[in-house]
Chains A and B, each alone.
Chain A
């Protein structure tokens, strides 16, 4: 086919943007290639591993199986949006550091963006619920336990509760 392009308007990490995108592009392709947001990882590229996870209108989506043209009118957040102006980490990132929830780091941005969606609900989740909410990500290093503890810790802190693991 001859290349087919479409002009897309959306908000990425708080900034309004417009871009001509190739209709064959996934949202991962657009965020990485056009905006250099390399926290969005190319993992399995079939929606199984969660490494490319971003928030779209506040909900977690695997951007590898999301067409770039569907970004029209949407509010998209990647891990880069969590960086505060003075370079401080967000509470979730800090909890990941404290709990050693990172080894190679490839799955980390995806996990953290899912944690953003989970904790933005402002609810208390049981261990079982939390594990289910985190189940859309694969990590080949940590064995998940530290990631689970990090998210749980961040949740307790936001709710002002004491945590005892």
Chain B
């Protein structure tokens, strides 16, 4: 038995919004692999929960009328990895969420929960930042969309109003088109592990594959919230992909990131692996895009 005060179940988005307004103190629960564990540990014991898990309308991946990839917030990690649209347009996201926890956790864990808990180490977060994902929130006055970088306010806090739930995450067409990415997770073991550092890089090459049109890189655990590296991106944008460029690009991430000392790893170690991961992920992304590192 869980030590919960009450459970309110929503079977539609409208019901969820009404419950949010009716019970302002209640915690939203999606798949529950964070909330229920925290409740078991005592951190959220005695609280009211609003379960949105049964809202099947919030599951699945589709292309909207503008051909943006639309991922329902309750889509599980394993369904994202197996989805043909994800594999075709944003395979790196499927690969990234395939490194969360364990197979069973990937069946229950949702992309909405992974982002709404505001945790910097979320395996989806760096790739979503690197693809400039849009977060869709639905509240009593309708739908609000905001860039994922604005969604994260600080560690553990995201921009959800008291009458809102997150209903989808969108990857804009302009973001995934002709773009190839690679994600690297650094952890002490392969399964059931929180990232020490996560790095996601994607590139779009020119038609002749000789030049980098656009490069984006984002980290998880390089600061209190997931973050992009504008200085490093500026080094790569418009440049010819070479091994020297990869080195220079990777060294520049140090100017952008702000990791901390924690029991998992020291700041110095995180900075060290950040550079190596940037180099490897960049090199792999260029290869996936059909380019060659001169």
Q: Which of chain A's residues have a CB closer than 8 A to the CB of B102? A: 48, 50, 135-137
Contact B6 A4 (CB under 8 A): yes
- For chain B, give the interface size range: 20 to 34
Asked whether A136 and B101 contact (CB < 8 A) given A47-B37, A48-B192, A65-B32, the answer is yes
Task: Kindly specify which of B20-28, B103-111, B132-140, B271-279 makes contact with the partner chain.
Answer: B103-111
Contact A67 B7 (CB under 8 A): yes
**Number of interchain pairs (Cβ within 8 Å):** 87
Contact B191 A136 (CB under 8 A): yes
Does B163 make an interface contact (CB < 8 A)? Answer: no
A130: shortest Cβ distance to chain B, in Å?
11
B59: shortest Cβ distance to chain A, in Å?
12
Q: Which of chain A's residues have a CB closer than 8 A to the CB of B32? A: 65-67
Q: Which of chain A's residues have a CB closer than 8 A to the CB of B103? A: 60, 114, 132-133, 135-136
Contact B190 A47 (CB under 8 A): no
Does A39 make an interface contact (CB < 8 A)? Answer: no
A153: shortest Cβ distance to chain B, in Å?
20
Contact A65 B192 (CB under 8 A): no
Contact A62 B104 (CB under 8 A): yes
B193: shortest Cβ distance to chain A, in Å?
10
Contact A70 B190 (CB under 8 A): no
Most buried by B among A59, A61, A65, A66: A65
Contact B104 A24 (CB under 8 A): no
Q: Which of chain B's residues have a CB closer than 8 A to the CB of A26? A: 1-2, 36
Asked whether A47 and B33 contact (CB < 8 A) given A66-B108, A67-B51, A69-B51, the answer is yes
Contact with B along A21-64 (1 / 0, CB 8 A): 01111100100000000000000011110100100000111100
Contact A23 B33 (CB under 8 A): no
For the complex, give the distance between the alpha carbons of A23 and B102 in Å: 26
Contact A24 B1 (CB under 8 A): yes
Contact A69 B108 (CB under 8 A): no
Residues in chain B within 8 A of chain A (CB atoms): 1-7, 9, 32-33, 36-37, 40-41, 51, 53-54, 78, 101-105, 107-108, 190-192
Residues in chain A within 8 A of chain B (CB atoms): 1, 4, 6, 22-26, 29, 45-48, 50, 53, 59-62, 65-67, 69-70, 72, 114, 132-133, 135-137
